Structure 1
Amino acid sequence: MLKTVINADVERIESHAFITNEPAELIHIFHPFTQIALWRRGVNSIIEAYLQKGLTNNLLGPGFRTIIRSPYTLALDLFPDFPGREALLEDIRLIAEIYADLLGCDEIALRLEILDCVMCPRFHVDRTGIRLICTYLGSGTEWINDELVDRGKLGPGCLDLPDEASGLFDERTTIESPNLFDLLLFKGSLWQGNSHRGAIHRSPAVASGEHRVLLIMDALWN
């Protein structure tokens, strides 16, 4: 099935980032050329209002970390009880189900991050397999196409210069980011056959008084 889907549209998937409106097409993350797969979902206004109210009333705290497994339900007491909680729980359950089915994993390490500062301000590659990120509120994670990038300028190679001045990329490179509620899959350097690649990304700047709400998942196998 994977081979059939991938061969169906070779031109579209021989690129760094594969963007789709169909969740089934996230399978293209397994193509060796693809480092990012993005499913455009659209904003759920009920969930957005729930999280905004939670932030305004300081009810969400710093977020949480947990490990989930099928049927991917979360404890109700992890979320404040007011309208919209069930919609958020169902959205997280749906995302987890899609992610687990795609990766074939037994468990998922799940994080809900509530951030008021930059988490990872420099462009970098994660030492992971395939990580899922969904930005519910705030600015989305930024990435760059690796076609014109000098990977030697990542990490210590930047010589403490800002990303825009280190030589990592030049004016031909566009810094891209998702829309709210988009589902992002980032391939890391630990994915098989990907040791010298991986999605190059960073956290966006966070303005004073702004918050980001992120859902992050990593596959676990027993």
Structure 2
Amino acid sequence: MRKQTIIKKISCLTIGLALFWTPVLFMACSKGPQPAASHASLDRDLSETSLEKEIRNVMEKGISMAERKRQVPVIELAFARQTTPERARNLAALCYFKTLGTPFSPLDLAEIALAETGGHSLSSKATSTKGAIGVWQLMPKQARSHGYTPEEMRNDEKCAEAAVRTLLSKLDVADGNMDRAKKFYCGVGPQADAYLKKLRIIRQALLEELDQTKEKVALNEKGSSIQ
């Protein structure tokens, strides 16, 4: 089983990464889990700026920055069907920033939000009958295990961070299987099976929307080149 990784808060320099890569600037951002530095990597790190290290970290995860950027407006549109336009933008930005440097894409975090509280206006005040709190529905015990208080789960940014940390821990338990990790995010048993099916339906809708967006962009680029 792979060693469990934990996301750390990072400094304002991470915002520079967003300025460099995307126009979506709404929230402060967090840094993904960092591996222990060897002597060789330590020398390299000392010669790099914080921004350069963050960019390298993201690239080493193998996640296309261009693809991540394309996902944001699709997520925002899906969120806007459930809540206000401003809140949709902010939550979409969180999905982007809080998954930087992790194995997850913005869509991964977005589909969980829609599955958990999409039917409740993606409200930060949402509380389940079992006591799960916030947009990403963290149980008090889960929140505490990641260094947060249950009340902090009503803060969208902290709730998103805790959700990513929880998903990372589930990915570790699932031996790297993303579907199983998302299933474990809900729990085990028939309810978790139903939850995974719900996630797949949500993701399929998001991917179809994303494909349509790509086609429109391709057509526009083709039209521009002809002119």
Q: Give the structure-1-normalised TM-score.
A: 0.31
* Bigger fraction of residues in strand: 1
Q: Kindly indicate whether structure 1 or structure 2 has the higher relative contact order, using CA contacts under 8 Å at least 6 residues apart.
A: 1
**Larger fraction in helix:** 2
